[in-house]
Structure 1
């Protein structure tokens, strides 16, 4: 998850456009507003205004990715007649991360998917249906909407089956943290990875 408000929208848009072009549009941008205030202070960015800055960035970046000449006059950014090259042949999917109310609203209304902060399966049973219902209530499609939900507990075939039924489209496994534990020996970690590969990787 990229902490987008720490950057400038032109720089970010150019970098992501290049990745989209080089990957033949296989790139998705997972981003969040950030949580570490000291990180923002190092960049000279106002931590408390990062949400508004982020929203303006999304508008600017989407316009730049269309190959247009962009002018924008907002609270955080002032642009006149800017364009970028290369630009992608189709929009870069935006995957909003986070679990705060603002992050969830942004993911629902302004993004092509949501990236969870790490949840238990029990939490996802409530979170994912609520997220998809919010999309429907906003008049937005749920088909094609990415729900990427890292699991903060061991990944099992039953868990994957249930997550898929809930509407989760992808997950992320943190094997040494949740599957076997950080104090496991090297041999145990290798055995765990071999087992996960045999069960889940086709």
Structure 2
């Protein structure tokens, strides 16, 4: 089992020391949240809270995802970074390919590109992207990113994106893993068909087994069951050695852990020292006791 530390919506000055502390403590990855804007009015709901309330996001600080990862990569040497998740469907995929390739090259391949559609129609509006057919747009964006970051000339002729033969330099020596986030049937099938892994967003613990079973079924249907595949989940089982073994038995490869409930209104008042103590305590009581 590998472990990803997640902390978001906190004081931006905390991120660099937290990344260094997580690396030193033995975490494999550091998750970085993505957010663009917060609308004054919206009918949208948050898919991972019981009542769909999204007001906890108001006035929370979000550093732009690739900017933050570049800064974190500069002060670390081993830990990997996983956007959790980048709102790919509203972004130009050529630009994302350049950003992801640059990050992967600068960090020695320490990027797992977690991507999702975005549940907020307002993200599409402010970015000038249609809400309609967002899933198919996402599929094409993944294909464009994978093609451009592979090296050599690449051209693409799709419904949404049209590229003549072009290439980027530099590109990372190894492919960037693309991890698909989301709980919908479409997201699970996209992960099974196009992804190198799947990222669970939390929510009802009883739903996790159903999602894992359906994902495995879809991978069999898509003929990808034998392909290397990462499964990142949020689960209370990750907080004990016995629970970690249960997750491993279910095919989970990466446990995402945090030590503060993020779905609350207002600023995060937890001191940096407490955050470091929490992540170090978990490393001592769980990571160290489940290492191979």
Other-structure match for 2:188: 104
Q: Post-superposition shift, 1:45?
A: 0.9
Mapped partners of 2:108, 2:270: distance in 1: 40
Match of 2:100 among 16, 22, 29: 16
SS of the residue 2:256 aligns to: coil
Mapped partners of 1:152, 1:35: distance in 2: 25
Match of 1:157 among 226, 241, 250: 241
Mapped partners of 2:165, 2:269: distance in 1: 56
Q: Post-superposition shift, 1:190?
A: 7.1
**Alignment TM-score, normalising by the size of structure 1:** 0.86
Cα pair 2:183 2:211 within 8 Å, conserved: no
Other-structure match for 2:283: 197
Cα pair 1:56 1:74 within 8 Å, conserved: yes
| Residue 56 (1) aligns with residue 144 (2) | no
Q: Post-superposition shift, 1:167?
A: 0.5
Larger deviation, residues 54-63 vs 136-145: 136-145
Aligned ranges for residues 78-93 of structure 1 at < 5 Å? 78-93=162-177
SS of the residue 2:163 aligns to: strand
| Residue 5 (1) aligns with residue 89 (2) | yes
Match of 2:178 among 75, 94, 98: 94
- 5+ residue gaps, structure 2: 1-84
SS of the residue 1:172 aligns to: strand
Cα pair 1:152 1:174 within 8 Å, conserved: no
Cα pair 2:114 2:178 within 8 Å, conserved: yes
Change (3 A) 1:119 1:166: farther
Cα pair 2:237 2:244 within 8 Å, conserved: no
> What RMSD in Å do the two structures reach over aligned CA positions?
2.7
Match of 1:118 among 202, 218, 234: 202
Mapped partners of 2:137, 2:270: distance in 1: 45
Q: Post-superposition shift, 1:119?
A: 4.4
Cα pair 1:119 1:151 within 8 Å, conserved: no
SS of the residue 1:30 aligns to: strand
Change (3 A) 1:10 1:165: same
Mapped partners of 1:157, 1:105: distance in 2: 31
Other-structure match for 1:148: 232
Mapped partners of 2:95, 2:88: distance in 1: 11
Mapped partners of 1:92, 1:185: distance in 2: 34
Mapped partners of 1:21, 1:170: distance in 2: 23
Q: Post-superposition shift, 1:101?
A: 1.0
Q: Post-superposition shift, 1:169?
A: 0.5
Q: Post-superposition shift, 1:177?
A: 1.3
| Residue 173 (1) aligns with residue 173 (2) | no
Mapped partners of 2:126, 2:144: distance in 1: 24
Other-structure match for 1:65: 149
**Deviation string, structure 1 residues 122-177 (Cα, Å, up to 9, x no partner):** 33233223312321232213463100001268823332221111011011113111
Count of aligned residue pairs for this structure pair: 199
Q: Post-superposition shift, 1:65?
A: 1.4
